[in-house]
Amino acid sequence: MRAVLALVLACLVALVGGPARAHTGSYDMKYVDGSNLILLTFNTHQPTSGLDIVHDIRLYDLVGAPIPYDEVRVEVHTRKNTDKLAVGGDSLIEEDTLPMLATNESKLTYAYPISGSYTLSTEFLAGGRPISRGEFAIEITPGAAESSSGYGPLPLVAAFAGGAAVALVVTALVRRRRSREVGDVEDSPDPDDAVVPEEQEHAFAAGRGNWP
């Protein structure tokens, strides 16, 4: 039975495991807000789920000069096929307030839980007042864990559930087998409890019988 459990665990590890792939290249997105340009840059050419992605957020005027700000509020929302992540109907899954760095940018590091569609919103503030805002529609491709399954996140959940069910069945069988073995031991006759036939009992009483 232990061998069966070990085999189930090995199958699950092989299913969800996979080498982590390092990000390479970069990817830019732009949003025009009046006379302002918001630039969002990922530290990867192809954003994937499950790995930390650094988001560089910058604010420029249309000439290309940086616009100073104090901080930027960032929110990540589910959209379309990622709505299953929403809790209680709230699509917000990540929020942060980031300062403007000396390099005229703000950085957000975030790992998208599953592949699919998301919305990232930004609101820049200076002196406590909003000066610019923008939204970006982001598409995340399957990461290592999802790619190894070949079908996305839902089969991974099903695989874990199936593995847990198999483990429960095996455990139940082991317990049932042990209970039967205990029952067989309890049902075995005890020589000391043997029933003596009536005629032999009379013989013993008369001193004529021999004990076995």
Q: Note the pLDDT tens digit of each residue in 119-129.
A: 999 999 999 99
Domain ranges of the chain: 20-150
Note down pLDDT in tens along the chain; length 212 residues: 544 444 433 443 333 333 334 444 678 999 999 999 999 999 998 899 999 999 999 999 999 999 999 999 999 999 988 998 988 888 999 999 999 999 999 999 999 999 999 999 999 999 999 999 999 999 999 998 887 655 454 554 444 445 545 556 556 665 776 666 655 555 555 555 555 455 555 544 455 444 44
Look at the pTM and tell me if it is higher than 0.85.
no
CATH of 20-150, one of 2.60.40.420, 3.40.190.10, 2.60.40.1930, 2.40.170.20: 2.60.40.1930
**CA 192 to chain centroid:** 61
Which strand (E) or helix (H) includes residue 11?
A: helix 2-16
Please provide the DSSP assignment of 119-181 as one string: EEEEEEEETTEEEEEEEEEEEEB--HHHHHHSS-HHHHHHHHHHHHHHHHHHHHHHHHHHHHH
Determine the Cα–Cα distance for residues 198 and 164; give it in Å rounded to an integer. Answer: 59
* Close Cβ partners of 212 (under 8 Å, ≥ 6 residues apart): none
